[in-house]
């Protein structure tokens, strides 16, 4: 066990540490009892709606069904760890092994979600450019194989997370022993995994989606000007395209705070000025990470509302279901 008192005068702010822990636990309680349960309902409804025949005419039903399923997988995975942490039981900190695999699988899930949005954008662009040329795009079995291979690639670049280990720091406060337990690795590994996360989860997906969307916007408006009468299926694709474009910019807004967290984490972990306040620093980082994660926790849970707001076809299907249920209550 590492001891922070070895030759170093400890200057921890214990009142702040206690406040940060309480605040973090309150936020996680809110996430566990409100955001995630609603997310389970919304994503389940989204899967049901996107499995309807209207959405099976295009690959959008295929992609958004996977997207909602992935959101559910992330929510259930986090629900294994978050509720116990509210009571002070941090399952991912039980051993070196739990540190390694908790972060490995979490990073794989997070990055898979980001790249799925890239593939959705690329699919819309390919359809608008070459609606009848690529058979591969419409073959759902081949698309599934492609997505699985890319999942293996994401898993490979996430391997640095398997070098994480459990670290314990002890200090004395009011004649009591105070332990700070967290997962870490040597500075080189931490830097590699953080660069990989920023690149693979946020920057590269956004840059690709942004460029693809510029082309998509141009082609959509060009097609609308060229054809006075648009087929029903093509009109459906245009509506999906605008949903995808909107989602791209929401994506950037949602993940920007987490990029700030990663940068701050690297600054603190590589600055010797913070050696005397390791536990205070860790308490701040945990709280900041929790606050920054609220945005993408909400995205995983409330994508249903984004579809309602920007996808008129989806809204029509939801309205039909709601009206049918309303008619049942009348009798």
User: 């959101």: which residue's tokens?
Assistant: 71
Judge whether 327 and 254 are in contact, CB under 8 Å.
no
CATH code for position 214 = 1.20.1070.10
Determine the length of the chain: 331
Q: Tokens for 21? A: 């822990």
> What is the H or E stretch that residue 2 is in?
strand 2-3
How far apart are the C-alpha atoms of 214 and 205, rounded to whole Å? 14
Q: Decide if 278 contacts 180 (C-beta within 8 A).
A: yes
Domain span at residue 299 reads: 2-330
Token pair of 168 as six digits: 């314990």
Contacts of 24 (CB under 8 A, 6+ apart): 286, 287, 290
* Structural Rg of the chain based on CA atoms: 23
Per-residue pLDDT of the chain (331 residues; tens, 9 = 90+): 344 444 444 567 778 888 998 999 999 999 999 999 999 999 999 999 999 888 877 788 899 999 999 999 999 999 999 999 888 888 998 999 999 999 999 999 999 999 998 998 888 788 777 766 656 556 788 889 999 999 999 999 999 999 999 988 776 656 666 677 888 888 888 888 888 888 888 889 988 988 888 887 777 667 665 655 555 555 555 666 666 677 777 877 888 888 888 888 777 766 655 556 777 888 888 899 899 899 889 989 999 998 888 788 888 888 888 888 777 666 5
The count of domains in the chain is 1
pTM for this model (two decimals) = 0.83
């Amino acid at each position: 066990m590492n001891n922070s008192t070895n030759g170093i005068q400890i200057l921890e702010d214990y009142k702040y540490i206690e406040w940060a822990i309480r605040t973090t636990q309150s936020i996680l309680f809110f996430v566990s009892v409100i955001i995630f349960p609603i997310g389970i309902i919304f994503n389940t409804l989204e899967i049901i709606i996107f499995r309807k025949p209207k959405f099976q005419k295009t690959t959008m039903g295929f992609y958004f069904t996977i997207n909602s399923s992935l959101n559910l997988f992330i929510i259930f995975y986090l629900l294994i760890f978050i509720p116990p942490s509210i009571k002070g039981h941090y399952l991912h900190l039980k051993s070196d092994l739990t540190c390694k695999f908790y972060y490995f699988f979490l990073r794989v899930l997070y990055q898979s979600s980001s790249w799925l949005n890239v593939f959705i954008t690329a699919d819309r662009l390919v359809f608008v450019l070459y609606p009848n040329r690529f058979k591969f795009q419409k073959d759902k079995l081949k698309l599934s194989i492609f997505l699985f291979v890319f999942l293996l690639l994401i898993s490979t670049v996430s391997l640095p997370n398997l070098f994480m280990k459990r670290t314990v720091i002890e200090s004395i406060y009011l004649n009591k022993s105070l332990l700070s337990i967290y997962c870490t690795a040597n500075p080189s590994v931490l830097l590699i995994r953080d660069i990989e996360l920023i690149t693979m989860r946020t920057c590269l997906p956004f840059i690709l989606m942004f460029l693809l969307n510029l082309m998509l916007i141009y082609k959509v408006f060009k097609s609308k000007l060229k054809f006075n009468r648009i087929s029903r299926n093509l009109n459906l694709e245009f509506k999906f395209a605008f949903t995808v474009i909107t989602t791209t910019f929401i994506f950037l807004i949602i993940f920007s705070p987490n990029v700030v967290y990663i940068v701050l984490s690297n600054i603190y972990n590589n600055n010797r000025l913070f050696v005397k306040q390791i536990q205070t620093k860790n308490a701040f980082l945990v709280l900041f990470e929790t606050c920054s994660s609220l945005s993408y926790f909400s995205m995983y849970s409330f994508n249903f509302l984004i579809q309602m707001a920007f996808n008129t076809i989806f809204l029509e299907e939801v309205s039909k279901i709601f009206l049918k249920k309303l008619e049942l209550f009348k009798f």
